[in-house]
């Protein structure tokens, strides 16, 4: 390790504004003469990270991390002491003399520095080709068609990768970059089939990918040949300076606007990101063609309180938004969705309707849970209670990810109200999805048959009716003759009973029953097959069946009563509607009491 003169270190520290330095990666707010924020070195809900300009230092009262500007850069960016000193010295325009130090550290640092320089030089070369070379005509035509001006291309250093290998080799020779180095940097790729190297990016529009300090560390190339079979977008591979799970496109430009707004807009592509920036929405970032990661979430959490996801409105867009929500929500971030019109992306919407239209879209952004109910729920058949409860069960997985218990309870109430199910039912669904302390989410054992989960989700009286109906033709004929099947529509856990009740098979025809079973999905078939195999042992006949159906009807009325009680909590309910609902609740209460009195005694077996 080299020794830098103490006066040089003091000079670098004196020239470094520690609030400005740390504020690039941590959202800070003034607290008297100091600044506070959420610690970037451990997860916390309340800010215990303190930056003191008077001493040019920082300290976290939660985890104990602390030090000066050198220490922060070392810990936050994973640099060695010498690398941290050099970075801050370069930023301050202070020259320090290189000395001999640890050989391995020196080698690694030189490789990273050289790779960054190579990417910086290559980005400039690609950009010059785009702006001036005749071979980039297709790329310029594409940009013009997307409404991207030369000023925008210059601001983002968009470039063009030529189709041939000769140009790149000439560029590499000029800068004295060797072949092995370029392969390790991801600029060249090695072909095992041909036994040689070739440019990874050919005839592509090139978008530089930068780290938090604005240094180019990788590229994303868009294919320009519509007939080519290659991937539409191609990213640089993982290298010592680039990990796609740790980098958000545009974050170097968006950090301060995100911190100022307290909000980050997340979209899907580079063009959407840069066009939103140019339209005034400079708090926008995008992923690198990979799913959202915890590192992405932590980076945004340090700057923002709220995330607005702006993905395509199709099913794939929802799935991407849901995956992002599942990473972001546990950090305590508020996650909203700005639903784009069908067939539009942020870029096309702005080009057609202007920035104001996109701004209105952001203002109308809904909490992810509400978005899931209002948008995704419309694609489902919600006429029956069992389908609403099934959808609520799916939603409960996302609700339980919310960090705050208050947020979970509020979401449970909203979903119960919107789906028209009792709040208690919603809370039970959420509780069922929460992993037990010290355990991961349950994984189905390999030998667990596909019908077991469905069987355990069924109402016990509905299961009893299934067994009786499959064991006794008289019970099945009686069941099918019932004038109303309200319990099937309003109660969850009656899915298997509905299949038998409305089935067309003859209970006395084994072949007919098996044909009926083969027309079901594997889980339903497995569940009913198990019931069929155990139904011969079930006794009680018609009397037990009538008793079980009466019990189901009581459960139906109780659920209807709970649903009405939930409706009474709606803040916009009128006094007249509230009075009418109260009357319905009282009437149901009397019906339930009467029905319970009639089945107090179990039927004779």
Confidence of residue 31 (pLDDT cuts 50, 70, 90): confident
Question: How many Cβ atoms are within 10 Å of 315's Cβ, its own excluded?
Answer: 10
165 vs 290, higher pLDDT? 165
Tokens 């005839």 correspond to what residue?
A: 203
| Residue 79 exposed, middle or buried by CB count within 10 Å (0-12, 13-18, 19+) | middle
User: What's residue 399's pLDDT?
Assistant: 93
| Residue 214 exposed, middle or buried by CB count within 10 Å (0-12, 13-18, 19+) | exposed
User: What's residue 5's pLDDT?
Assistant: 72
Flag the least confident range among 60-69, 220-229, 430-439, 468-477: 430-439
User: What's residue 102's pLDDT?
Assistant: 54
User: What's residue 175's pLDDT?
Assistant: 94
**459, 491 contact by CB (below 8 A):** yes
Contacts of 16 (CB under 8 A, 6+ apart): 56, 69, 88, 91, 92
3 state DSSP class of 234 = strand
Alpha helices per DSSP H over 384-433: 385-399, 405-419, 423-433
Distance CA 518, CA 330 (A): 42
Cα-based angle 83, 88, 91 (whole degrees, multiple of 5): 125
> Tens digits of per-residue pLDDT, 458-514?
888 999 999 898 888 899 999 999 987 888 877 878 889 999 998 888 877 765 676
Mean pLDDT estimate for the chain: 85
Of the candidates 457, 387, 459, 395, the one whose C-alpha atom is nearest the C-alpha of residue 427 is: 395
Distances (CA, A) of 392 to 337, 479, 523, 568: 19, 29, 20, 20
User: What's residue 1's pLDDT?
Assistant: 45
Question: How many Cβ atoms are within 10 Å of 306's Cβ, its own excluded?
Answer: 18
118 vs 375, higher pLDDT? 118
User: What's residue 537's pLDDT?
Assistant: 45
**9, 27 contact by CB (below 8 A):** no
> Tens digits of per-residue pLDDT, 529-546?
788 766 554 456 888 889
What mean pLDDT is predicted for residues 282-295?
83
What mean pLDDT is predicted for residues 63-74?
85
pTM across the whole model: 0.66
Rg of the chain (C-alpha set): 32
Contacts of 564 (CB under 8 A, 6+ apart): 581, 584, 585, 588
User: What's residue 601's pLDDT?
Assistant: 56
Instruction: Report the percent of the chain where pLDDT is more than 90.
Output: 35
143: tokens are 């940009």
Flag the least confident range among 104-108, 147-151, 355-359, 391-395: 104-108
Strands (E), 472-598: none
What mean pLDDT is predicted for residues 233-259?
90
Helix or strand run (H / E) with residue 240: none
What mean pLDDT is predicted for residues 268-274?
91
Distance CA 422, CA 460 (A): 20
Question: How many Cβ atoms are within 10 Å of 126's Cβ, its own excluded?
Answer: 29
Of the candidates 127, 190, 120, the one whose C-alpha atom is nearest the C-alpha of residue 161 is: 127
Distances (CA, A) of 514 to 46, 314, 528, 578: 61, 39, 10, 51
Contacts of 480 (CB under 8 A, 6+ apart): 501
Confidence of residue 217 (pLDDT cuts 50, 70, 90): very high
**449, 419 contact by CB (below 8 A):** no
| Residue 354 exposed, middle or buried by CB count within 10 Å (0-12, 13-18, 19+) | exposed
475: tokens are 């019970």
538: tokens are 């079930």
Check pLDDT > 90 for residue 580.
Answer: no
Contacts of 404 (CB under 8 A, 6+ apart): 332
**98, 82 contact by CB (below 8 A):** no
What mean pLDDT is predicted for residues 367-381?
84
Of the candidates 27, 37, 87, the one whose C-alpha atom is nearest the C-alpha of residue 61 is: 37
Confidence of residue 260 (pLDDT cuts 50, 70, 90): confident
What mean pLDDT is predicted for residues 340-356?
91
Check pLDDT > 70 for residue 103.
Answer: no
Check pLDDT > 80 for residue 386.
Answer: no
| Residue 593 exposed, middle or buried by CB count within 10 Å (0-12, 13-18, 19+) | exposed
């Amino acid at each position: 390790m080299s020794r830098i003169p103490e006066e040089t270190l003091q000079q670098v520290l004196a020239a470094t504004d520690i609030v400005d330095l740390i504020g690039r990666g941590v959202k800070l707010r003034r607290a008297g003469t100091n600044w506070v924020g959420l610690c970037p070195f451990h997860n916390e809900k309340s800010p215990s990270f303190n930056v003191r300009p008077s001493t040019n230092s920082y300290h976290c009262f939660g985890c104990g991390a602390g030090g000066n500007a050198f220490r922060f850069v070392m810990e936050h960016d994973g640099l060695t002491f010498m690398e941290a000193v050099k970075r801050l010295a370069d930023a301050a325009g202070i020259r320090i003399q290189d000395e001999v130090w640890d050989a391995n550290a020196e080698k690694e640092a030189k490789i990273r520095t050289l790779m960054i320089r190579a990417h910086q030089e290559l980005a400039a070369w690609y950009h010059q080709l785009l702006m001036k070379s005749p071979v980039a005509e297709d790329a310029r035509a594409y940009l013009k068609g997307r409404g991207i001006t030369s000023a925008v291309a210059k601001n983002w250093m968009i470039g063009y990768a030529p189709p041939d290998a000769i140009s790149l080799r000439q560029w590499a020779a000029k800068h004295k970059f060797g072949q092995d180095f370029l392969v390790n940097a991801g600029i060249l790729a090695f072909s095992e089939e041909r036994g040689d190297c070739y440019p990874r990016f050919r005839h592509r529009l090139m978008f530089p990918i930068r780290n938090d300090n604005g240094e180019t560390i990788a590229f994303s190339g868009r294919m320009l040949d519509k007939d080519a079979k290659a991937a539409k977008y191609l990213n640089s591979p993982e290298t010592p300076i680039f990990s796609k799970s740790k980098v958000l496109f545009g974050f170097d430009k968006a950090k301060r606007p995100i911190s100022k707004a307290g909000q980050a807009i997340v979209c899907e592509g580079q063009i959407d990101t840069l066009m939103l920036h140019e339209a005034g929405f400079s708090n926008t970032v995008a992923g690198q063609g990979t799913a959202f990661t915890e590192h992405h979430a932590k980076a945004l959490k340090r700057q923002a309180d709220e995330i607005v996801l702006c993905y395509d409105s199709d099913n794939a867009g929802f799935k991407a938004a849901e995956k992002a929500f599942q990473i972001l929500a546990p950090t305590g971030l508020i996650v909203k969705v700005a639903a784009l019109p069908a067939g539009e992306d942020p870029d096309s919407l702005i080009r057609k309707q202007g920035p104001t239209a996109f701004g209105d879209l952001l203002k109308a952004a809904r909490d992810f849970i509400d978005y899931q109910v209002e948008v995704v729920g419309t694609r489902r058949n919600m006429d029956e209670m069992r389908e609403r409860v099934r959808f609520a069960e799916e939603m409960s997985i996302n609700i339980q990810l919310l960090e705050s218990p208050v947020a979970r309870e509020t979401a449970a109430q909203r979903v119960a109200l919107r789906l028209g199910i009792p709040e208690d039912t919603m809370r039970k669904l959420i509780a069922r999805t929460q992993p037990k302390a010290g355990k991961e989410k349950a994984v189905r054992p390999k030998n667990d048959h596909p019908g077991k989960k469905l069987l355990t989700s069924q109402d016990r009286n509905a299961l009893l009716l299934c067994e009786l109906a499959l064991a006794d033709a008289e019970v099945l004929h009686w069941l099918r003759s019932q004038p109303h099947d309200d319990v099937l529509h309003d109660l969850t856990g009656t899915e298997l009973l509905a299949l038998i009740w409305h089935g067309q098979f003859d209970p006395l025809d084994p072949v007919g029953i098996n044909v009926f079973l083969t027309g079901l999905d594997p889980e339903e078939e497995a569940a009913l097959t198990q019931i069929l195999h155990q139904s011969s042992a079930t006794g009680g006949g018609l009397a037990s069946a009538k008793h079980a159906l009466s019990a189901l009807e009581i459960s139906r009325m109780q659920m209807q009563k709970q649903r009405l009680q939930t409706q009474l909590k709606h803040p916009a309910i009128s006094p007249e509607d509230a009075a009418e609902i109260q009357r319905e609740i009282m009437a149901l209460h009397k019906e339930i009491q009467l029905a319970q009195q009639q089945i107090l005694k179990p039927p004779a077996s």
